[in-house]
Amino acid sequence: MCLQVPEGLVDGSGMSINKGKTYICSTSPPAVLSAYFNQFRKDFSVFLKSRSAELQFGGRIGIAMLGRESEDHSDRSTTILWDVLDQSFAILASQEMIDEEKVNEYDVPFYAPSRKEIESEVLRDGSFTIESMENYELKTSTGDPKEDARITSMAIRAIQESMISHHFGEEILDSLFQIYNGLLGEVMVKEEITSSHLLVVLKKSS
């Protein structure tokens, strides 16, 4: 849950500190993790305060979001779809269809929190208590890796299309997601991609 791209993803000269990556990965420096976590804290705090203002004492709210089972920010189930997008951008850059620096400047407004992070932020806010919280794994496999890749590619395109068009121009979209679909298909032949979600029920306590 991030409402906007974090600040702090560039150095003092304005250059990306997470070059070639759209999100957190295993090679991201600690400053990237901190930037995304701090943005999550800020945005989740705004969310909680807004929901608190809407509810009476004892009122409840249910939240379903992408989350991490692991405390590792670069957990593969969280980052794999972004990793494939990074590879797709790199191929377009190698074909000189987009500028490499434009790729370095592109970051996604996304964060998948862990249970501990949710618990900590709810406690810090003080408006709610957690009635229940559970992880569940979403599997979307049809049994056909090519079809799974096509469906997932279409979903990621729907989510990212407006941002990518604004940053790179809409003329790259078809080529980008054709590459993305192909790379994702190669991954899905070897492994099933699942996504971890958190289902949280909060009760207003103050």
Q: Assign residue 64 the CATH number of its domain.
A: 1.10.1200.220
The pair of three-digit structure tokens given for residue 136, joined into one six-digit string = 């569940």
> Could you tell me which of 16, 11, 5 has the C-alpha nearest to residue 43?
5
In this prediction, residues 6-32 reach a mean pLDDT of: 91
Q: 7 with 31: CB under 8 angstroms?
A: no
Q: What is the mean pLDDT of residues 83-93?
A: 97
- Average pLDDT of the chain? 93
Please say if the pLDDT value at position 30 is more than 80.
Answer: yes
Domain assignment present for residue 92? The answer is yes
Give the pLDDT score at 1. Answer: 63
Res 78 pLDDT > 90: no
Label residue 142 by pLDDT band (50, 70, 90): confident
Mean pLDDT over residues 73-82, rounded? 88
SS3 state of residue 142: coil
**What is the tally of structural domains in the chain?**
1
* Longest distance between any two alpha carbons in the chain, whole Å: 58
**Region 124-137: what's the mean pLDDT?**
94
Q: What is the reported pLDDT for 70?
A: 87
* Contact indicator for 125, 45 with CB cutoff of 8 Å: yes
Res. 94: pLDDT tops 80: yes
Is residue 100 situated within a structural domain? yes
Least confident of 37-41, 72-76, 164-168, 180-184: 72-76
- CA 4 – CA 110 distance, rounded (Å): 8
Average pLDDT score over residue span 140-145: 84
The residue-averaged pLDDT of 99-105 equals 94
Compute the distance between CA of residue 118 and CA of residue 134 in angstroms, rounded to an integer: 11
In this structure, is residue 176 part of a structural domain?
Answer: yes
The Cα 10–Cα 95 span in angstroms is: 26
Minimum mean pLDDT range among 113-122, 162-171, 178-187, 191-200: 191-200
Contact between 102 and 35 under an 8 Å Cβ cutoff? The reply is: no
Instruction: Tell whether 24 is covered by a domain.
Output: no
Q: Is residue 8 part of a domain?
A: no
Mean pLDDT of 175-197: 94
Assigned domain for 34 exists? yes
Residue 137: pLDDT over 90: no
Range of the domain at 94: 30-204
**Cβ pair 46, 3 in contact under 8 A:** yes
| Residue 49 is assigned to a structural domain of this protein | yes
Domain contains 48: yes
Q: What is the pTM of this model?
A: 0.89
Confidence of residue 43 (pLDDT cuts 50, 70, 90): very high
pLDDT at 2: 64
